[in-house]
């Protein structure tokens, strides 16, 4: 049984469309996995930062309802910047 050129062209086109759709699905799954990894890392970093802040407050004798001192605010800002840098490096390494 011989297949015509038109039928071969249709089959080739259908295969190309299917491959493109499969590629888009795979890319979406990869992006979803990377986002999940990033969210997990961000949550861990945020939790570690909160523990660090609580430890510093305790060491300085500052209660939760008291105003944060300038020195502790500077430390918190520095730690937040370091956290953001680590998260940025993590995101960049994933790409």
pLDDT per residue as tens digits for the range 8-32: 999 999 999 999 999 999 999 999 9
Tokens, residue 35 = 């986002």
Rounded CA separation 32/69 (Å): 40
Residue 1 has pLDDT above 70, yes or no: no
* Residue 83 and residue 45 in contact, taking contact as beta carbons nearer than 8 Å: yes
Query: pLDDT digit string (tens) for 37-83?
Result: 999 999 999 999 999 999 999 998 888 778 888 889 999 999 999 99
- Rounded to two decimals, the pTM is 0.70
Q: Which pLDDT score, from 0 to 100, does residue 2 have? A: 60
């Amino acid at each position: 049984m011989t297949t015509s050129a038109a039928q071969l062209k249709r089959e080739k086109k259908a295969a190309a469309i299917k491959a493109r759709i499969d590629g888009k699905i795979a890319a979406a799954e990869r992006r979803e996995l990377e986002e999940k990894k990033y969210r997990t890392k961000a949550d861990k970093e945020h939790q570690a930062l909160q523990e660090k802040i609580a430890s510093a407050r305790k060491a300085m004798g500052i209660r939760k309802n008291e105003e944060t001192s300038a020195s502790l605010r500077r430390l918190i800002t520095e730690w937040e910047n370091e956290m953001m840098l680590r998260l940025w490096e993590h995101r960049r390494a994933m790409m």
